Structure 1
Amino acid sequence: MRRGWWVGVLAALALNAVADVQQSLDYRDYPVKPRSDESISDALYRASPILEAGRVFHGYTRWWVEWRFWWRETANRQCRIDRVSVEVQGEIQLPRLDGGTPSQRERFNRYREALHQHELVHYGFGLRAGREIENSLRNLPPEASCLELETRANETGYEILRDYRQLEDRYDRETEHGRTQGAWLED
């Protein structure tokens, strides 16, 4: 069951076009320079600048969703959202191998590709959150005042972000931070 659920998520995240949501994804790498007698796992642990909750990770994805909306008064003096703009920005940090033996490079390349795929799914959560925020704000019913509408719209956006952060945490728990997807090195 677990696998089937994530296959659906991966399929949904594979879509590049996300309604009218503007998106950008940047990459940042860090060098890994293994000694010839060192395992790739040890070299990554030594080189990684990514530390979260006291744990070292080899890859990391950050995403942000920003939304703006404009409203207008209706004929019956209610306030309705007229236009919505959503932007999703992301950054994926991954290791880059500098040097290494042929067997180290081969092992690293397989591992890095699995890690990259795992991190892309993390970014996809941001894209899905952005799309849901855009759709939800476009479909909010009118309010008696523009202040009430603004409050409701922002509460809606933040609630959606919380939901997607929880889904993202669940994804990491169920995949063991990518281990079940091949983003793991046994030495």
Structure 2
Amino acid sequence: MKHVAICLFALFFWNELRASEPLNVEFYEVRGNNARDLRKELGDHGPVGDDGSRHHGYTKWHVDWTFQLIPSGKLCAIGSVETKLEVTMTLPKWNKPEGLLEDLTREWERYSTALRLHEDGHYNIAVSAAQEIERRLSGLTGTAGCKTLAEDINSKARAVIEEFRAKDLGYDVATEHGATQGARF
């Protein structure tokens, strides 16, 4: 019996935390022989965000969570937490014609690097959201039974998602969708 109590104690306090962080990068093609044409292509073919607007790049993310509960009479504790993060980053790829001026090529490379840096910021927010769910859920216990604890866990996880969606939007506002980071072509 003593060993069972020790095992339950260990399960309560040493939760199994796993976060997957897959990043799927997709590209859309743009064509052009000059900056004006490339800007038009970016505006016409960029991904459509959740806001309904086209953007030069876009990072869409989703976090799922699962958990195991350990009942013990009227008490209940979370035994393990796992998050699954899915991220799709969409970026432009220039189908560059032969014989263009080096200035345009350098400007595209500068812009592409800055856009990727900006989108990586969105990815980092998504990773932080998954990690924060695990952190906040780790070690939760309840005295009203497992059903009530499960409801509390899901409510807390949804609150984290809302919090980090707001951070994601704030990041775009603060960076002017990457313009302050150089992601303007």
TM-score range, shorter chain: 0.7 to 0.9
Q: Amino acid of the residue matched to residue 93 of structure 1?
A: T
The alignment of Structure 1 onto Structure 2 pairs a total of residues equal to 166
3-state SS of 1:177 partner: coil
Alpha-carbon distance in structure 1 between the residues aligned to 2:47 and 2:20: 29
Is 1:95 aligned with 2:82? no
The answer to which of 147-156 and 82-91 deviates more is 82-91
Alpha-carbon distance in structure 2 between the residues aligned to 1:109 and 1:51: 24
Larger radius of gyration: 2
Q: How much has 1:42 moved relative to structure 2?
A: 2.3
Alpha-carbon distance in structure 2 between the residues aligned to 1:168 and 1:47: 23
Kept in 1: contact 2:29–2:95 (CA 8 A): yes
Q: Tell me the TM-score normalised to structure 1 length.
A: 0.81
Question: Counterpart in 2 of 1:10?
Answer: none
3-state SS of 1:57 partner: coil
User: Unpaired runs of 5+ in structure 1?
Assistant: 1-18
Question: Counterpart in 2 of 1:69?
Answer: 67
Q: How much has 1:139 moved relative to structure 2?
A: 2.6
Q: What is the aligned counterpart of 1:86 among 61, 83, 89?
A: 83
Question: Counterpart in 1 of 2:107?
Answer: 107
Alpha-carbon distance in structure 2 between the residues aligned to 1:47 and 1:22: 30
Q: Give the % identical residues.
A: 29
Is 1:153 aligned with 2:153? yes
Is 1:22 aligned with 2:26? no
Q: Amino acid of the residue matched to residue 30 of structure 2?
A: V
Q: How much has 1:48 moved relative to structure 2?
A: 2.2
Q: Amino acid of the residue matched to residue 162 of structure 1?
A: E
Alpha-carbon distance in structure 2 between the residues aligned to 1:24 and 1:118: 18
Alignment of 1:1-40 (within 5 A): 20-36=18-34, 38-40=36-38
Q: Amino acid of the residue matched to residue 132 of structure 1?
A: E
Q: Amino acid of the residue matched to residue 87 of structure 1?
A: K
User: Unpaired runs of 5+ in structure 2?
Assistant: 1-16
Alpha-carbon distance in structure 2 between the residues aligned to 1:162 and 1:37: 38
Alpha-carbon distance in structure 2 between the residues aligned to 1:63 and 1:111: 23
Change (3 A) 1:143 1:121: farther
Alpha-carbon distance in structure 2 between the residues aligned to 1:103 and 1:60: 26
Q: Could you list the per-position Cα deviations for residues 127-168 of structure 1 after superposition, in whole angstroms to 9, with x for gaps in the alignment? A: 111111011111323232111011000000000000001111
Q: How much has 1:32 moved relative to structure 2?
A: 0.6
Is 1:178 aligned with 2:178? yes
